[in-house]
Amino acid sequence: MKRKVLFFISSGLLLASFYMVLVFVPTEKDMGIVQRIFYYHVPLAWIAFLAFFVVFFASIGYLIKRKPLWDHIACASAEIGLVFISLMLLTGMIWAKAAWGAWWIWEPRLTTSLVLWFIYVAYFIVRAYVIEEERKARFGAVVGIIGFLNVPLVFLSVTLWRTQHPPLTIFTEGLVGSMMATLMVCLVAFNFFYFYLLAEGTLMKADERTVKQLKEESIRRNP
β-sheet bridge partners, residue 28:
32
164 near other proteins, judged by CB under 8 A: no
Q: How far is the CB of 97 from other proteins (least distance, A)?
A: 6
| Chosen residue from 34, 63, 114, 170 binding other proteins by CB under 8 A | 34
Tell me if residue 105 falls in helix, strand or coil: coil
- Identify which of 73, 72, 205, 60 has the alpha carbon closest to the alpha carbon of residue 141: 60
Q: How far is the CB of 180 from other proteins (least distance, A)?
A: 20
Cβ–Cβ contacts within 10 Å for residue 208, how many? 12
| Amino acid identity for residue 215 in this structure | K
Positions 50 through 109 that interact with other proteins (CB under 8 A): 83, 86-87, 90-91, 94-95, 97-98
**Interatomic CA distance for residues 71 and 69, integer angstroms:** 5
Cβ-proximal residues to 71 (8 Å cutoff; 6+ apart), any chain: 58, 62, 137, 140, 141, 205
36 near other proteins, judged by CB under 8 A: yes
215 near other proteins, judged by CB under 8 A: yes
Q: How far is the CB of 204 from other proteins (least distance, A)?
A: 5
- Identify which of 160, 39, 37, 147 has the alpha carbon closest to the alpha carbon of residue 93: 37
Q: Taking contact as CB under 8 A, which single stretch among the options 35-43, 56-64, 116-124, 177-185 is the one that binds other proteins? A: 35-43
Positions 104 through 163 that interact with other proteins (CB under 8 A): none
The phi, psi pair for 164, rounded to 5°, reads -85, -20
- Rounded to whole angstroms, what are the CA distances from 137 to 31, 61, 71, 202, 214? 46, 11, 6, 14, 19
For residues 36 and 109, which CB has a smaller minimum distance to other proteins in the complex? 36
Number of residues that bind other proteins (CB under 8 A): 35
**Interatomic CA distance for residues 116 and 194, integer angstroms:** 19
| Chosen residue from 62, 197, 198, 202 binding other proteins by CB under 8 A | 197
37 near other proteins, judged by CB under 8 A: yes
15 near other proteins, judged by CB under 8 A: no
- Interaction site with other proteins (CB under 8 A): 18, 22, 32-34, 36-37, 40-41, 44, 83, 86-87, 90-91, 94-95, 97-98, 193, 197, 200-201, 203-204, 207-208, 210-211, 214-215, 217-218, 221-222
